Structure 1
Amino acid sequence: MSTRDIFQRELAGDTISLSDPEYPKIAALITEAQRVVAQMNTGYHDAAEVRALFSHLTGTQVDESFALLPPFYSDFGRNIRVGKNVFINHACEFMDRGGITIGDDVLIGPKVNLVTINHPLDPATRRSTHCAPIIIEKGAWLAAGVSVMPGVTIGENAVVAANAVVTRDVPANTVVGGIPARFIKHIDGARGQRDAG
């Protein structure tokens, strides 16, 4: 029998069943995340209040340069890590049980979905879950409506065009777009490109 707890097993990509004896630990954090998210999304909160609520959701103090425009949605919260000077626009959904790491100077557009969790294809076990982390490296920009799937790394300074669905890693200093996202062009590092939408 494994000596790892359910959180370690989940972050390692193990399949987690609802009948796992430790599953109530995950369920409790899901419930707490929903409480914090509901508080964040109700009424007006100034920037400092939003940072405090986001820090509570993640269990880690975020930098004062962090900015988020509610509403914001998360199924778990405790596996989100953000760097400095990160901006998250409104109506984003972070399903973070597999771990979401966002580097410094990242821009996240409105209605972006970061999904680290999946289900087995076998109907007999489909209510079980397995996870893989998402990593967004320094300076990347995810435009409006982007969806990033489990296990994907977005490279440094990369741009993901609006409404793209990212199913595989994005190299640094490139622009990708489409469904599934594909290479469009390289970014001129001296000037950068801001025409992805």
Structure 2
Amino acid sequence: MSDDLLMPIHDPQLLARGERVLGPEFRAMSGRVLQVTALTSRLNVLPFDDEAAKAALFAQILGRPLPPRVTIYPPFYTDHGLRLDFAERVFVNQGCTFLDYAGIRLGEGVMVGPKATFITVGHPVDPGERRHFLTGAPIDVAENVWIGAGATILPGVHIGRDAVVAAGAVVADDVPARSLVTGPKGTVRRRW
């Protein structure tokens, strides 16, 4: 990706507060993306029962060992890894993607179905600004939540305790505790 396509991100904590960010750290961020992509590529071709090698690669990807009783079935994808926070007893099924630069937290006992996607960063809607910086906000998933297969969780979303996100749902707004979210969210909001 060339430097004129994306301006650098300065401080991931600004993204965590939902602010637009510019700055000279884009090369470091893109370097981390390349490093983690190489690590996940290695992880995703390991024999399924090679627990020691998987644990070692997860420790490199996350910058620390997985918590006790966390289960993640490869293939597994992340663009940063260092801002992924898995509590105990989290289960992540095959083919999930975690774009975690602004931070993703999965509380204790969260279950994630296959091919679910968590996205914490994006680009501005304005076409003139789209290639100049990133925007974003963290995702927080409380305890005992079930995220169905193919669900997409967008930046800044908080999902309350014991909630269920149905398969294929696109979640752009907070989800109250002990509730069920279903269906696509795609709606034309404005035109230009």
- TM-score bracket relative to the smaller structure: 0.7 to 0.9
- Give the match's secondary structure for 2:167: coil
**What residue in structure 1 maps to residue 190 of structure 2?**
none
CA shift for structure 1 position 49: 3.0
Higher RCO by CA contacts (8 Å cutoff, separation 6 or greater):
2
* TM-score normalised by the chain length of structure 1: 0.83
- Give the match's secondary structure for 1:101: strand
C-alpha separation in 1, matches of 2:58 and 2:91: 13
C-alpha separation in 1, matches of 2:76 and 2:21: 26
**What residue in structure 2 maps to residue 190 of structure 1?**
none
**What residue in structure 1 maps to residue 179 of structure 2?**
174
**What residue in structure 2 maps to residue 88 of structure 1?**
92
CA shift for structure 1 position 43: 3.0
Matched, 1:31 2:34: yes
* TM-score normalised by the chain length of structure 2: 0.85
C-alpha separation in 1, matches of 2:129 and 2:158: 27
CA shift for structure 1 position 62: 1.5
Number of equivalenced pairs: 176
C-alpha separation in 2, matches of 1:10 and 1:26: 13
CA RMSD of aligned residues (A): 1.9
Are the equivalent residues in 1 in contact too, given 2:116–2:147 (CA < 8 A)? yes
Structure 1, gaps ≥5 residues long: 182-197
Are the equivalent residues in 1 in contact too, given 2:18–2:156 (CA < 8 A)? no
* 1:38 partner amino acid: S
C-alpha separation in 2, matches of 1:12 and 1:69: 31
Percentage of pairs with the same residue: 35
C-alpha separation in 1, matches of 2:63 and 2:16: 16
C-alpha separation in 2, matches of 1:8 and 1:177: 31
CA shift for structure 1 position 122: 1.8
- Give the match's secondary structure for 2:128: helix
CA shift for structure 1 position 68: 0.7
C-alpha separation in 1, matches of 2:101 and 2:159: 18
> What does 1:1-197 correspond to in 2, within 5 Å?
6-17=11-22, 20-45=23-48, 46-127=50-131, 128-180=133-185
CA shift for structure 1 position 101: 0.3
